[in-house]
A and B are shown apart, each in its own frame.
Chain A
């Protein structure tokens, strides 16, 4: 049995253990989950008027409900060189597979996308079939991202163009570069899954190490001294603070996933 089969089996097993309820959309629309009661404005659907509340208050009120529809789940894997650091690629594959099985179990439309080269985006058509989803994972597994870097904004633009319908977009990457998801989040429900390696957040001092940039596959003359590590960690902290602020502003749900984490537990929290 190869590594991919292991990943798929592990993901399936986790899903069956942790199955949780359906997704709650950030968007308001037709559904059964009550969101809020607001005064009637011109343009509101008269079918939403809450007659009981309107009678009580003497004004016309409408009930806003969480939108509930056949939600299409789109997983976008940011396949760049940095994914080869530590066990990040494996974590990414397992996270993707978990979401795939979850969607499959809930009979939702699943669509997988991954980046190729600098800015190209491969997007498979939405499907409810388990085989299609597994095929997507296999495609991901066969990628050789070492030496690749990504133009994030171009990828986002393409994604916007190719996703006309509102969808739950899960972007899986390490988010170590600056990224602007505001336009995407305006149209879609966006979940950011940060795949990180422990050694990436807490690098250990190495006196005789040759550092290689996975985005270019080029060796660097820089070295990991305790002082350099401190400097790096400060930069990382600043970057993450900025990133999370951006996510907060645009109502983007996010979580950090390390290879040692229970992936499904992290997912269930972010999708709850």
Chain B
């Protein structure tokens, strides 16, 4: 176990103050001091509890953590960017045969979500695009975090109603900039035609090609630019898929699932599990005990 902020331990010697630097105590005349036992000198239980609370709070501040047992040395996988179209047309429904009211966007998010949860060996990033594009989440292996970002950072129209595919690709390449792996992949989900942004898809694909990034394109529904999507995939040695309905989309994701993984990196970051909540719980319980005792004493007096 290690400490994230060991500097907080500097405060520990202050615990001695609870014994030695008392604030001005209340003076009480006590008739028979001889009848008070000597052995309880200073070792007042309440003061001990207060000191324990203090120490627990300092430990909370110091944030102890444990390394999780698995490391990334032998991990295989890809660095994968999901570029998700959130243009206005994604709000269209009727894409799902079972639930006609579900929009394309809802289905895309739902399936992306389940796709994301299976990518245990991959590093994933999320790019959201409409009239412009932005990186909603950088590359991470924190899949549950990414899943949350998928909900938090995206909704239909969040990045404008048009479709800037060139910019989406460019942002995706940016997200992969620092990736050391060989196997870099962009999955582009779109239902429209490139009609916005200052970067053309062609330029973006050129950059991707230079950096050895494969682009898989998924066209959703009917109205998208099939030719361009195919061209993007072809030029970057990727593949193009269409998904006319939710079932197709599912199949597409399954196909991408099967693509060959590669060794991810030689050195991996370690997964740290923060344990600061435990000393905090101890402090709260002890504090609760003191408050409870005080209430009981006051009741007994009244």
Contacts and interface: CB of A to CB of B under 8 A. Distances in A.
The answer on A and B forming one complex is: yes
Interface of A: 82, 84-85, 174, 176, 197, 200, 203-214, 219-228, 231-232, 235-236, 239
B38 A222 contact: yes
Nearest to A207: B46
Contact of B32 (A84, A176, A209, A224): A176
Contacts of A174: 31
Interface stretch (B18-26, B184-192, B219-227, B247-255): B18-26
B37 to A, nearest CB: 5
Minimum-distance CB pairs A-B, first 6:
A235-B35, A210-B25, A211-B30, A214-B29, A232-B35, A222-B36
Interface in B10-58: 22-23, 25-33, 35-38, 40-42, 44-47
Nearest to A208: B25
B259 interface: no
Given A209-B26, A212-B27, A213-B29, 13 more contacts: A82-B31, A174-B31, A204-B297, A204-B301, A205-B297, A207-B44, A208-B25, A209-B27, A213-B30, A219-B27, A225-B40, A227-B40, A235-B32
Contacts of B32: 176, 232, 235-236
13 contacts: A82-B29, A203-B30, A206-B26, A207-B44, A207-B47, A208-B22, A211-B28, A219-B27, A220-B33, A223-B40, A223-B41, A226-B45, A232-B32
Nearest to B22: A208
B45 to A, nearest CB: 6
Given A223-B42, A225-B44, A208 B31 contact: no
Contact of A210 (B28, B36, B38, B44): B28
Nearest to B30: A211
B25 A222 contact: no
B37 A231 contact: yes
Contacts of B31: 82, 85, 174, 176, 197, 200, 214
A228 B46 contact: no
Contacts of A236: 32, 35
Contacts of B27: 209-210, 212, 219
Interface string B266-302: 0000000000000000000000000000000100010
Contacts of B47: 207
A236 B33 CA distance: 11
Contacts, number: 86
Nearest to B50: A207
Contacts of B22: 208
B36 A224 contact: yes
Contacts of A197: 31
A226 B42 CA distance: 13
B272 to A, nearest CB: 39
A206 B47 CA distance: 11
A174 B35 CA distance: 15
A213 B35 CA distance: 12
A68 B264 CA distance: 115
A221 B25 contact: no
A209 B301 contact: no
A146 to B, nearest CB: 8
B33 A211 contact: yes
Contacts of B41: 221-223
A267 B255 CA distance: 103
Nearest to A220: B33
Most buried by B among A220, A221, A228: A228
Nearest to A88: B31
Nearest to B23: A208
B21 to A, nearest CB: 12
A204 B35 CA distance: 15
A85 B30 contact: yes
A11 B179 CA distance: 95
Interface string B40-78: 111011110000000000000000000000000000000
Contact of A85 (B29, B35, B36, B40): B29
Contacts of A210: 25-28
A93 B213 CA distance: 100
Nearest to A223: B44
A213 B27 CA distance: 10
Given A208-B23, A209-B27, A212-B27, A225 B45 contact: yes
A35 to B, nearest CB: 40
Contacts of B35: 231-232, 235-236, 239
